[in-house]
Every structure is written in C-alpha cells, then in structure tokens.
C-alpha cells in the first residue's frame, strides 16, 4: 500500500468543456461541480487494483462463489496479475474487510488519484495523449508514443502496474477497470459536501465508481474528477476495485 498524506485538495472539475459552455450537457454530467476544497485524513491506498490472484485467495478462504467468467472456478495463468472484475459492491466490500482494509471514500479516491497534482484533469497533467515513449501494456512493444494509461482498448484490462505510477505511487488510477468506492451517489452532493472527510450521502440507489476502464475513450470520462454510478449489485467486465486502510 502507498501512504497518502493528510491534506486539502480541490475536488471536482476545474475546466469547462464546449458542451458546458453551450448548455448541451445533461445535468447529470455536471455532478462533478462545483469544485470545492476538501480535507482528508492520512490513509493508505493499494498501489494496484485487486488482482484475480489475490481475489482467488479470498474465494478459497471464504468459500464464496467465484466470478462467473473464471473457468472451473479459478483464474487462468494469464489472468492472475490482471484486475479482478465481475464483482459487485458487496463482494468488493467483503474482500476489503477480509483483508483487514476497507473501500476508499470518493474523496479519498480522488485525493489519491491526483497524486498530489492540483487542479489537473489527469494524474500526469492536462494532456491526455503521451508526448513521447511511454509504458506499453504487457506483451506490447513500446515502439513509439504510447497512451499513459490503459484506456480505449477493445480486448479487456491489462496486467496491473503496466503503466507508470502517479505521484503517490499508485498505478492504473485511470483506465484498466472502474473502481468501486464506499459512497452512495447523489447528483448534487458536491453542493453540500462536508469540508472534512466527506463520506457521501447516508442512503441512495446507486454506488459511485471511479477511474474509467479499458473500454473508455472519451477524454471527459477519463479525468480524475469524473463520477460514474451503477446499481450496487451490478457485475461487469469493466468494474473492479482497490482497498484503503486507516493510518
């Protein structure tokens, strides 16, 4: 795990896209505003998304059902170091508890994802495309400019840690798989969010997921500010998770 220091950061989206300026955006897509100053206590965050290998140990210890895409109830050798997916919110939460951890709050997730960079769109800055040779996914030769994260790929996630970490030492905070966080979703929550350690609404219909996935290619969805939400019982090839822990 990486140690995330206590501190304040600007949570939400600083920039305006052209659809915002022209009022062509649905109200739900303004749920990452207003930008607001948030303080969070120090905590630990997994450097990597939880892998199939780690989740298999949980399945073996607890006798829970395995993700339905594991043939024979076990991940294949090539899958071991890839992020687990097809797990719902409760299963992700139970894994974290079993490991002596918890799911991060939405504020903790964004604080960690920014990697101590303030007011930028992505963990590495404001430019989506790489300007030089970067890390390539496992098995792919780095022969020229590469994407800075695993997004816009058609064939699923990459091995965790295939791309460079952010300023806090965390990998794959953009792309690979969306990540469950602890909060219920509320569209207007930012307008009333507490200034210190917000925990999200007390109840809700949807849970928040953060970070985008391997299949996404819209620059607006790939930012560290972007909020997405799904029903907590959803299992999909694009959603996984990582854990946090109090310091």
pLDDT of residue 199: 97
Residues 6+ apart with CB under 8 A from 228: 178, 208, 209, 210, 212, 221
pTM of the predicted protein model: 0.91
pLDDT of residue 19: 62
How many separate domains does the chain show? 1
Adjacent-strand bridge partners of 240: 179
Distance CA 148, CA 142 (A): 12
pLDDT tens string 119-177: 899 999 998 865 433 345 555 544 444 789 999 999 999 999 999 999 999 999 999 99
Is a pLDDT exceeding 70 seen at residue 18? no
pLDDT tens string 46-89: 999 999 999 999 999 999 999 999 999 999 999 999 999 999 99
pLDDT of residue 134: 39
Q: What is the CATH number of the domain that holds 68?
A: 3.90.1580.10
Adjacent-strand bridge partners of 172: none
| pLDDT-based confidence at residue 220 (cuts at 50, 70, 90) | confident
pLDDT of residue 143: 46
Q: pLDDT > 90: what percent of the chain?
A: 79
pLDDT tens string 23-46: 555 656 789 989 999 999 999 999
Instruction: Please tell me the chain's helix, strand, coil percentages from 3-state DSSP, rounded to the nearest 5.
Output: 20, 20, 65
- Cβ distance 227 to 31 under 8 Å? yes
- Cβ distance 124 to 147 under 8 Å? no
Is a pLDDT exceeding 70 seen at residue 20? no
Burial code (b: 16+ CB inside 10 Å, e: under 16) for 53-81 equals ebbbebbeeeeeebbeebeeeebeeebeb
pLDDT of residue 218: 86
Its domain, for residue 179, covers 1-247
- Cβ distance 37 to 8 under 8 Å? yes
């Amino acid at each position: 795990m990486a140690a995330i220091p206590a501190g304040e950061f600007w949570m939400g989206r600083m920039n305006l896209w052209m659809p915002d300026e022209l009022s062509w955006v649905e109200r739900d897509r303004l749920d990452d505003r207003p930008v607001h100053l948030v303080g969070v206590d120090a905590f630990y965050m997994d450097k990597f998304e939880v892998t199939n290998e780690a989740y298999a140990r949980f399945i073996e210890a607890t006798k829970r059902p395995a993700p339905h895409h594991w043939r024979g109830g076990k991940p294949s050798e090539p899958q071991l170091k890839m992020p687990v997916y097809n797990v719902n919110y409760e299963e992700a939460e139970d894994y974290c508890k079993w490991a002596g951890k918890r799911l991060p709050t939405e504020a903790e997730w964004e604080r960690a994802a920014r990697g101590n960079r303030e007011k930028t769109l992505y963990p590495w800055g404001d430019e989506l495309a790489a300007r030089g040779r970067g890390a390539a996914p496992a098995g792919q030769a780095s022969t020229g400019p590469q994407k800075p994260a695993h997004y816009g790929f058609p064939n699923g996630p990459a091995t965790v840690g295939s791309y460079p970490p952010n300023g806090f030492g965390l990998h794959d905070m953009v792309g690979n798989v969306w990540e469950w966080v602890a909060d219920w979703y509320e569209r207007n929550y930012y307008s009333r969010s507490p200034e210190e350690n917000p925990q999200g609404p007390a109840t809700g219909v949807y849970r928040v997921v953060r970070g985008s996935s391997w299949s996404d290619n819209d620059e607006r969805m790939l930012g560290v500010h972007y909020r997405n939400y799904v029903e907590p019982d959803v299992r999909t090839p694009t959603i996984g998770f990582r854990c946090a822990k109090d310091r």
